[in-house]
Amino acid sequence: MPRAGYVALVGLPNAGKSTLLNSFMDQTLCIVTPKAQTTWKRILGIRTSDQTQAVFIDTPGLLQADNLLHESMVKESQEAIKDADIVLLTVDGNNPPNKSEKITLIENLSLSESPIEVIINKIDLASPKKISQLTEWAVSELNCTPFGVSALRGHGLEEVWSQIELALPESPFLYPEDEIGSAPVRFFAAEFIRETIFEQYSQEVPYAVYVSIEEYREGQDPVYVKANLFVEKESQKMIILGKRGRSVKKLGELSRRKIEHFIGERIYLDLWVKVLPNWRRKKRDLERLGFHLPKSDPK
């Protein structure tokens, strides 16, 4: 009987969850930048072997929410923890969680009734002392022996995959064997643009930009893609555009290359920068942009 199920990748921001998913998939499905909190919504990656199909769920980092966007991100992670057949808690071996962060992790993990495995990531950068301390914490507090991996270099992942194969429930495959993701191409197009924004702009600006694909016309050469870039302030719009539009032109060029590499076709990328004041703090705007908020949130 084959095995199949959902595997949630959870942890603090910048623990390497997205890199871990990309490494399991041997393909870039999640954006990865040095900046924390770049994953805003759950992303699925589907890995299928002869008798096992693991649907990996990359989740936003568990953090203390200070606006409605953050609350939506935490909800995404908590729902994944509740629904998963296996939870992979990923921690940064080079920057271990502090006492308060460990409490946050344990509180959120308590939402799961499924097996929990601990992944100590970035072991190629971490000191033996830090790894030993994290191992002791995982054994004493979570009752499991952690796996040491380097998601970036692909070290230690096969041992984790072997454990996933054993722990997933017996089940028919949940998706066709040739699928690698459940999101539409326009979702990945938006993510590649957002990744480029994080790479090209500094400080708070990337966190204030939401990318929405308004048009995606296939069946023509080049494929036409129109994207709206929503920012919170006029000053942010000016930064995105740059002097004489040079910055947004560079953004378009770099983003276009990524999308073309992903879909294997030429595209014409049409970027529009629009101001949506304080969208991260407004329930109506967040819901319009596809974010899900707790029912108790005020309007």
CA gap 157, 90 in Å, rounded: 12
Which pTM value belongs to this model?
A: 0.87
E-strand stretches of 218-290 = 223-231, 267-275
Q: Please give the pLDDT value at position 64.
A: 78
Q: Hey, where are the domains in the chain?
A: 3-167, 185-288
Order of strands, sheet of 223-231, starting from the edge strand that comes earlier in the sequence: 210-217, 223-231, 267-275
Q: Average pLDDT by consecutive 10-residue portion of the chain (299 residues)?
A: 95 92 88 78 91 94 84 91 96 94 94 96 95 96 95 94 96 93 87 94 91 93 96 97 96 96 94 96 91 64
Question: Fold match between 3-167 and 185-288?
Answer: no
Please enumerate in sequence order all residues whose Cβ is within 8 A of that of 78, keeping only pairs 6 or more positions apart, or say none: 108, 111
CATH architecture of 3-167: 3-Layer(aba) Sandwich (3.40)
**Does domain 185-288 match CATH 1.10.287.3510?**
no
Q: Please give the pLDDT value at position 297.
A: 44
Do 59 and 17 form a contact (C-beta atoms < 8 A)?
Answer: yes
Do 38 and 195 form a contact (C-beta atoms < 8 A)?
Answer: yes
